[in-house]
Amino acid sequence: MSSNLVETLIGAVVVGVAAVFLIFAYSNVGPATGGSYGLTARFDRIDGLPNGADVRISGIKVGSVTGQTLDPKTFRATVHLSIANAIELPDDSSAKVATEGLLGGAYIAIEPGGSDKNLGHDGEIKYTQSSVDMMSLISRAVFGSGDGTAPAGTGGQ
């Protein structure tokens, strides 16, 4: 009888801890404002940008990446964003794929513009900057640019 009581109490504690974690996760995921609206942005490259990645303005999370598709005509990546309703972006805002340091995850950084008109719901951010191919950049620094010049320190021949 007492072992059943102990098992029941341990089970109740486990369920209680799980409920606390769920409440914590629910309150900390996504914008804490009342709802969001969708935007799209088109990029040449979005290397390493997963669905669910942050959308940030000045380092503050204001939304997330909800989807990615490839435009079959232009072969550009279309990224679908969810932005908090409290954030009204000017229609000349720009977006770029940024990373959290050298080996960090990718996110979308938005730089608000100065226009008096705002992007509407389901609007498109026209000014974008694609991700930087880090391996190509490092290779260029180490092995030279491929334009016939040798990297510094090799004697040039």
Q: What's residue 136's pLDDT?
A: 76
Tokens of 95: 């977006």
What does each C-alpha distance from 56 to 36, 52, 119, 140, 149 come to in angstroms? 14, 12, 16, 30, 39
Domain ranges in the chain are 1-27, 31-132
Q: 2-37, pLDDT tens digit by residue?
A: 778 888 889 889 998 988 888 877 666 654 446 889
Residues 39, 112: contact at Cβ < 8 Å? Answer: no
Instruction: Quickly state the pLDDT bin for 80 (edges 50, 70, 90).
Output: very high
Question: Which residue did the predictor score with more confidence, 33 or 89?
Answer: 89
Please tell me the pTM assigned to this model.
0.66
